[in-house]
Amino acid sequence: MLRSVLFYLGYSLATLIWGTLSVLVGWVLPTRPRFLFIIGAWTRICLWWLKVTCGIRVEVSGREHIPDTPCVVLCRHESTWETLFLQTLLAPQATIIKRELLWIPFFGWAFALNKPIAIDRGTPRSALKRLISVGRSRLSEGIWVVLFPEGTRMPPGTMGRFQVGGSALASAAGADVLVIAHNAGDCWPAHALVKTPGTISVRIMPPIRTIGLDTKAITAAAETLLAEGQQTLPGRNPANETPI
pLDDT digits (tens, 9 = 90+) for 193-221: 999 999 999 999 999 999 999 999 999 99
Low-confidence ranges of the chain (pLDDT < 70): 26-27, 31, 106-107, 110, 235-244
- pLDDT for position 124: 83
- pLDDT for position 242: 44
- pLDDT for position 243: 41
- pLDDT for position 198: 96
- pLDDT for position 201: 97
Q: Which residues of 157-167 are buried (b: 16+ CB within 10 A; e: fewer)?
A: bebbebbebbb
Whole-angstrom distance, CA of residue 90 vs CA of residue 132: 20
CA distances 108 to 16, 113, 123, 221, Å, are 11, 9, 21, 34
The helix/strand/coil state of 56 is strand
- pLDDT for position 235: 64
- pLDDT for position 27: 66
Whole-angstrom distance, CA of residue 119 vs CA of residue 8: 28
- pLDDT for position 18: 77
Contact predicate 40/91, CB 8 Å: yes
Whole-angstrom distance, CA of residue 167 vs CA of residue 210: 9
Question: What interhelical angle do 81-89 and 41-54 show, nearest 10?
Answer: 130
Tally Cβ neighbours within 10 Å of residue 48: 12
Contact predicate 83/95, CB 8 Å: yes
Whole-angstrom distance, CA of residue 167 vs CA of residue 169: 5
